[in-house]
Chains A and B, each alone.
Chain A
Amino acid sequence: MSKHLGHHEPFVRMAKRDTIGRGKAALIRAAAVLGALVTGALIILALGHNPVQVYKEMVLGSLGTRTVLLETIRIAIPLLITSLAISLAFKMRFWNIGAEGQILVGAMASSYFALFQYQNIPRIPLLLIMFFVAIVSGGLYGLLPAIFKAKWNTNETLFTLMLNYIALAFLQYLQNGPWKDPMQKGFPKIAMFNSAAKLPKVFNVHIGWIIALVLMVVVAVYLSKTKQGYEIAVVGESRNTAKYAGMHVGKIIMRTMFLSGALAGLVGCLQCAGADYTITDTTAGGVGFTAITVAWLSKLNPYVMLIVAFAIAVLERGANKIQTAFKIPASAAEVLVGIILFFMLGCEFFINYKLIFRGRKEEI
């Protein structure tokens, strides 16, 4: 009866690894980077360029001179703070993919004061008010899906995603209507901020970098050393356990999402008042989504986020540079970034699992 069964073991099987050595994990990650570079090189070759030159230009274009380095740091700041914001929610397994919207809401709230109240308030109070309203409005925008989650257990992924579009559409309405700059002669654009509403600079970069570094430490301490951070971790692991331990799960969800949204809202203020000096529908510019990648690649560790956020800023800046230097289309440059991220995320599989091929006992 077993005649039709060939005497073959399966061609390839997966097996979960036990704990993997640090060295070996680092080796796998290094191999992933190498794999990404080689794959990217093939694409660059197909486009008719020299991969070595293109890669060299990417590095020089993002780190080579003081000017480009500052530019890279400017990209990394919102990315880092937004990743911190997201990690609060993600630690609770609350999938906040609405950071983009929360950034925009924070940006709109602070822009109102920057655009229309700058004559009435002295500079320092103005900036403080802008921070304050950005934090509160972003927090409330983050609280909204949390209330629905806590009361009616709605799906936060869809909810936060949809809120992004609402925020964006409202900003476009302001841009085309009430806030349209009359000086632009009909072009739908919002005016530049008065210099009173611009953030001061320290070492030639707006003070957001100091805020980002402070927040990194604060979030790290909050998550690992405080009671509230502990509650977030317990709720994230099991809501049943949290209830069993006497925690008020709904309250924790709402409180944490307020904080998550508040940090994202702060990013909105920093972008407007520190980097762009105005608000446009590209103020958030996908930071809310890229930050998810950053948070995930750093395994929600705030200190690792600093490194990852900077690395992604280097990639983005480098991709920009090769567009201009080699006339490589923007989409192709993005493909390169995508490939690197794909390999980095994909290599986690090989860190957790090993493959066993037919007839062999060793592992990859």
Chain B
Amino acid sequence: MENTAEHAICIRNVTKTFGPVCANDKVCLDVSRGEILALLGENGSGKTTLMNMLSGIYYPDSGHIFVNGEEVIIRSPKDAYDLGIGMIHQHFKLVDVLTAAENIVLGLPGSVHINRRALCREISEISHKYGFDIDPNKKIYNMSVSEKQTVEIIKVLYRGAKTLILDEPTAVLTPQETEKLFAVLRNMKADGKAIIIITHKLAEVLAISDRVTILRKGCLIDTVETKNATMQSLTEAMVGRSISLAIKREMPDNAKARLDVKELTCTNHDGVKVLENVSFTLRAGEILGIAGIAGSGQKELCEAIAGLYPIADGEVLFINKTTGEKDNLAHKTPTEIIELGVSMAFVPEDRLGMGLVASMDMVDNVMLKSYRSNKGPLLDRKAPKALAESLIKKLDIITPGTSTPVARLSGGNVQKVLLGREIAGAPSVLLVAYPVRGLDINSSYTIYDLLNEQKRKDVAVLFIGEDLDVLLELCDRILVLCGGKVSGLVDARGITKEEIGLMMMHIDDEFKQREGEVGA
């Protein structure tokens, strides 16, 4: 082996398969002390699998791992900790009812008694050293997503990690929080830590990393110096061919109001308001984007409109295209909404847990909403089968056939089945929640094209997104939610990512004024 000793971590020819899927095929990767390595690749390219082998969650089928030049066997997360490797997962693993400090020492050997004062001092030292901002005595359930992430990072540092792996750390952060995180990462780098950051956001790769390792379909494509890379060159390496990154957006003409949401308020099981006095108008032939930190009420908003979430107060008025009559959809079940003649399509966030039946095939999934339409007690599978076949052709769905369970399809194809079914009903309102989450670039652009096509067909599209760059490029207007309240309703054609970021964080004072300008 060549010069493995220079690197904090060296991965050589590691292979891991899951059944027929080869998640990693002879992948090599190095990271040095005082370096930030970006691990870039589309969803399903094997980034997380590779890192999970480094952190002891999976065990490789073959290959070698070297830490500080010495070959090691990592059988469990504990082995990984002992080797100074710590991973911050995409989904946090914290105990809600404990404080930050308690979570940080949880699971470590030591006496039953916790010396809280000494512990807090140590945590403060770590925080001070790297520029964290954290209150060790705050309970996790009172924390924002960004604070929880900070606790996860300190937890790993407290355990003496010298190599940190961050799995898509910015996916849940606002632009401002991302900047703060990057500052911390730079401090750690200066302190000699080796850092691997998993991401598929190109702008972030260019901003933070020293080198980039690119994976595609489980294979190592290349490792390049960030300073020699461009957005375009990285995309090509990641996707395998050059593609255009621009989303086209047409000016909506003659947009009429289609859905009028008035002072909508919803409360959850505990009586907490998840939506408060939300009012907006959704127009035909436009895409209205919803921006907000995860959990700001986006999901509830969609489900309340679709009749799936109980509404405490307010109205959802559907304006009939031809007659102009208004129907109040509040307090109605999905069946009642259909019976009113309102064709509303909804692509929920949880595709396989709500939008589709994972174990059923395409035919049975395509008829999920229409199976009642034919007479008699028996099912008609002919029409759905024909629809499934036409969807496969029209949307290039890759599947062995219409009788394969949808759970076996890749994320992009699952989404195409779901969106295809919803669009096939010729809706007048289309609600889509995080439609490109987990999709590769190609599939994402197919989805954007489909949404634009619906917009041209005079459908009112409500788009809940998480990538602000996409929201700004795709949508006509953007509604910003913060803690269940509307904190901004702006024209997407004249606003910056930073301005939206500010609105996501708190109620903007100038909001009312701006609403007056745009909403007219």
Contact = CB atoms under 8 A, between A and B. Distances in A.
B73 A227 contact: no
Contacts of B20: 18-19
Contact of A245 (B19, B358, B369): B369
Interface stretch (B40-48, B246-254, B333-341, B434-442): B333-341
Interface in A99-153: none
Nearest to B162: A1
B357 A225 contact: no
Contacts of B333: 246
Contacts of B372: 227
Nearest to A18: B19
B73 A9 contact: yes
Interface in A150-187: none
Nearest to A20: B19
Interface in A208-266: 225-230, 233-234, 237-238, 240-241, 243-246, 248
A240 B378 contact: no
A237 B73 contact: no
B30 interface: no
Nearest to A10: B75
Contacts of A238: 353-354, 357-358
B356 interface: yes
A228 B377 CA distance: 7
Contacts of A9: 59, 73, 75
B368 interface: yes
B126 to A, nearest CB: 21
A49 interface: no
Contacts of B18: 15-16
A327 interface: no
Interface in B283-297: none
Contacts of B308: 243-244
Interface residues of A, number: 33
Interface string A6-25: 11111001011111000000
Q: For this complex, into which size category does the number of interface residues on chain B fall? A: 35 or more
Contacts of A241: 353-357, 368
B70 A2 contact: yes
B75 A244 contact: no
Given A10-B59, A233-B360, A240 B353 contact: yes
B333 to A, nearest CB: 7
A364 interface: no
B314 interface: no
Contacts of B350: 240
Interface in B53-79: 59, 61, 67-68, 70-73, 75, 79
A234 B368 contact: yes
Interface string B317-358: 000000000000000011100100000001010100111111
B377 A237 contact: no
A6 B73 contact: yes
Contacts of A202: none
B515 interface: no
B125 interface: no
A151 B59 CA distance: 46
Given A237-B357, A237-B358, A243 B371 contact: no
B366 to A, nearest CB: 12
B378 A226 contact: yes
Contacts of A8: 73
A246 B338 contact: yes
30 contacts: A1-B68, A2-B72, A2-B82, A5-B72, A5-B79, A5-B82, A5-B83, A7-B71, A9-B73, A10-B59, A10-B75, A16-B18, A227-B372, A227-B378, A230-B371, A233-B364, A238-B357, A240-B350, A241-B353, A241-B354, A241-B356, A241-B357, A241-B368, A243-B334, A244-B306, A244-B348, A245-B368, A246-B333, A246-B334, A246-B335
Interface of B: 18-21, 59, 61, 67-68, 70-73, 75, 79, 82-84, 306, 308, 333-335, 338, 346, 348, 350, 353-360, 364, 367-369, 371-372, 377-379
Given A1-B67, A1-B84, A9-B75, 6 more contacts: A6-B73, A9-B59, A16-B18, A227-B371, A227-B377, A246-B334
